[in-house]
Structure 1
Amino acid sequence: MSRLGYGEEIRWRRVEKYRVNDMLFTARANDETVITAGSSAEGLVCVHESDLDRLFVLNNVLCVEDGVDIHTIPTYIEVFRMDTFAYPGHCRMLLERFTFTYCASIYKALCLDGQGNALLSSKLFLDEAKHRYNGELPKKRTGPALTVFTGGGSTFDLVFAIRCQCPGILQRWAQRSRYWPPPNVVQKVVSSESFLCPVGCKSSINEHLEWRICFNIGETELVHNLNGTQAKEYVILKMIVKEVLKPNNKEITSFVLKNIIFWQAESNSPSMFQERNLIRWLHDALKTLRTVLSSKQLPYYMIPERNLMEACGLQDQQQRKWVADITDMIEEGPRVILRLPRIRQAIICHPEPLLWFSRRRMELELLELEYMNRHVQCMDEDSEYDDTDIILQAIYWRQSQILWEVIQRMFIEGSAVNDRDSDEIKRRILM
């Protein structure tokens, strides 16, 4: 797993680079904070392995839970009150304090509830918020996310969000009896920012008014505190879903798998998660996934009242097939990992070629992450960048050297390639 790009060193280098990238983009934004979320923020995917998930958080808007004193909040901030009379894990947003800081995404999304209260509609907010993005037009919408082209065929998922203060919800989570995470990490999660994302529960009659309560930063902190064995188990579980089960409509998401790992970690002593027990814990997670699919029930780790499989769209025939497939995988024992092409190829590959490739893959990815940040630093106000920058040129030159070494070795070993294939080879290496 480490040779394939899932070791601890590269994991933390990714985390560091994306944090820097967030700071660079936030510095360029007018009234938003940019936060990388999901697997990229967790450091558990190669740089182009999956779409980049990003939150764009409005700076001058805040929603608070009942009991929070709004007089402690600066007067320039628009304040809403959380109405949790909604599907668990969701809320409605009631306007509590009006300001004159104009924000079209907010004011055009306000509506009345028939009782004199102004509500912020998640649907209208998302319709307005997407016009704030100055890049390419979104190609599709998935839940609260707008999938946006970034050039070169790559995409990222953009989610506009609003900060919220919900100490009551976090304290209920913190007070649970658990083996994991340790108290200092629990305190970090409780102290981290929470958000409301513009999406309601699909089975709710008030879906267009509901907002999902999210703890992206806290959940990223939890993933960072998984040990190496738990992190690799999570990665392998995602590989199994992607390459063996192959869901077409997000019936099983990475978020579902992450919650399975969280519940497993909370319920068992950290000392039990040793490298020699990796397959045992993988089988345990597969058994849980089988139960989740059979029952269509999985409590959200942060708010257990919310069922993550609610309205997931899982059909009966697909459900039966996946339950049977997972049963077969469990019965295979350790050989289940041979179903995964990348792991199978790594096992079959001789140690020397794998080590040679691993070193070049890691250097190429680190250069790509550095290029990502330098590219932002060289942008002007019109998002044009200076491609003559000496550091950008040095990164490009070294990447070209590495790719030429790979092409030469492929040619020697009988592959029909040439230097014109370098862009495609680079894309495949970093996936």
Structure 2
Amino acid sequence: MQNASLVLYPYLCQEVVGTEEHVNTIRMMNTIRDHLESDSMRTIITSGSFGEGLDMRGSDLDVMIVLQYLEVCEKIHDYLNFVKVYFKMEMEDTQPGFSKLRLVQTTDWYFCRDCDVVGCGVYLSNSFKQRFVHDFFPTVHGPCVSDEHGNYDLALCLHSKLWITPAEQWVTRSSNSWPSYDVKQAIVKHGVQFVPIGVKGSTQEELEWRISFSVGEKLLIYTFTHTHNCYVMQSRKFF
């Protein structure tokens, strides 16, 4: 078994994952490109395998576009920036990992065409992503809009700057040395994203948004050794 592992590791480095230097180079390039393409209106996050630096052949390019003028809050605080649109999380009647987003403040009433009135509340529909369908990205693929060949997936996301209560236990639970305190704090600092897709078959599917920890997952992958990365990619390839 040890001899097989010694043979398999170089193969994975050359044919599947790439060398450790190659992985680090891709990560650095992603960071630079994301920074250059981001502005005050949107933050670009390269995600998926390529975003992790694990360039698996045949995989598509996944990009999250976080719209900065839209913000989600678990609890509404006293100070709201008047130039932003705010939503409040409502999870009482949704499955774990999903939330409805109730409109709290907006100065852009044109934006309300993407909202539905339910009872006394106004909620953002996840059909919001349809607004970004055009010639280059003509297909809706889950929470994303995709090109016709399936090479690029763009997910339009909303963001909560603060860590949310349902995930608080992950931060406070006892653990050994992984992940480190600093890594946990970096993940918490990035908050969480909300991507436009609901629970299939739900009676309120179009009003549900999936809570995404994609940035945190990427930061955890960054702590892996290169051997761990090879194992992860090999597992994804077969499972």
Report the TM-score range of the alignment, normalised by the length of the smaller protein.
Answer: 0.7 to 0.9
**Does the 8 Å contact 1:185/1:222 carry over to 2?**
yes
Q: Per-residue CA shift, 1:137-180, capped at 9, x if unaligned?
A: 42x3221011115xxx6721011111124432342221122232
**Number of equivalenced pairs:** 224
CA distance in 1, matches of 2:159, 2:231: 32
The aligned residue for residue 98 of structure 1 is 106
1:23 partner amino acid? H
1:65 partner amino acid? E
**Does the 8 Å contact 1:148/1:158 carry over to 2?**
no
Shift of 1:88: 0.7
**Does the 8 Å contact 1:80/1:96 carry over to 2?**
yes
CA distance in 2, matches of 1:99, 1:173: 36
Alignment of 1:236-275 (within 5 A): 236-241=234-239
Corresponding position: 1:127 with 2:130:
yes
- Secondary structure (helix, strand or coil) at the match of 1:9 reads helix
The aligned residue for residue 13 of structure 2 is 2
- Secondary structure (helix, strand or coil) at the match of 1:127 reads helix
The aligned residue for residue 78 of structure 1 is 85
Match of 1:181 among 179, 182, 199: 179
The aligned residue for residue 51 of structure 1 is 60
- Secondary structure (helix, strand or coil) at the match of 2:202 reads coil
CA distance in 1, matches of 2:51, 2:112: 32
Match of 1:24 among 19, 36, 49: 36
1:14 partner amino acid? I
**Does the 8 Å contact 1:171/1:190 carry over to 2?**
no
**Does the 8 Å contact 1:200/1:210 carry over to 2?**
yes
1:108 partner amino acid? R
List alignment gaps of at least 5 residues for structure 2: 1-11
RMSD in angstroms over aligned alpha carbons?
2.1
Match of 1:108 among 94, 109, 113: 113
**Does the 8 Å contact 1:162/1:196 carry over to 2?**
yes
Higher relative contact order (CA 8 A, sep 6+): 2
**Does the 8 Å contact 1:113/1:119 carry over to 2?**
yes
Alignment of 1:114-153 (within 5 A): 114=119, 116-123=120-127, 125-130=128-133, 136-138=136-138, 140-149=139-148
Structure 1 segments (4+ residues) deviating >4 Å: none
1:118 partner amino acid? V
CA distance in 1, matches of 2:29, 2:68: 23
The aligned residue for residue 35 of structure 1 is 45
Change (3 A) 1:73 1:173: farther
CA distance in 1, matches of 2:80, 2:31: 27
TM-score normalised over the length of structure 2: 0.85
CA distance in 2, matches of 1:174, 1:31: 30
- Secondary structure (helix, strand or coil) at the match of 1:222 reads helix
**Does the 8 Å contact 2:54/2:233 carry over to 1?**
yes
Shift of 1:15: 0.5
CA distance in 2, matches of 1:78, 1:97: 5
**Does the 8 Å contact 2:129/2:145 carry over to 1?**
no
**Does the 8 Å contact 2:163/2:189 carry over to 1?**
no
CA distance in 1, matches of 2:65, 2:237: 28
**Does the 8 Å contact 2:89/2:100 carry over to 1?**
yes
The aligned residue for residue 155 of structure 2 is 159
- Secondary structure (helix, strand or coil) at the match of 1:94 reads strand
Alignment of 1:298-309 (within 5 A): none
CA distance in 2, matches of 1:61, 1:37: 20
List alignment gaps of at least 5 residues for structure 1: 242-431
Shift of 1:56: 1.5
Match of 1:218 among 216, 219, 223: 216
- Give 1 or 2: higher strand fraction: 2
- Secondary structure (helix, strand or coil) at the match of 2:123 reads strand
Structure showing greater Rg = 1
Q: Per-residue CA shift, 1:80-137, capped at 9, x if unaligned?
A: 100012111000011111223x6x5x421111112x21111112x1222335xxx614
The aligned residue for residue 338 of structure 1 is none
The aligned residue for residue 6 of structure 2 is none
How high is the sequence identity, in percent, across the aligned residues?
Answer: 26
CA distance in 2, matches of 1:136, 1:26: 20
- Secondary structure (helix, strand or coil) at the match of 1:96 reads strand
CA distance in 1, matches of 2:66, 2:104: 19
**Does the 8 Å contact 1:87/1:204 carry over to 2?**
no
CA distance in 1, matches of 2:188, 2:66: 19
The aligned residue for residue 230 of structure 1 is 228
1:63 partner amino acid? V
CA distance in 1, matches of 2:54, 2:29: 13
- Give 1 or 2: higher helix fraction: 1
CA distance in 1, matches of 2:86, 2:209: 15
CA distance in 1, matches of 2:37, 2:181: 33
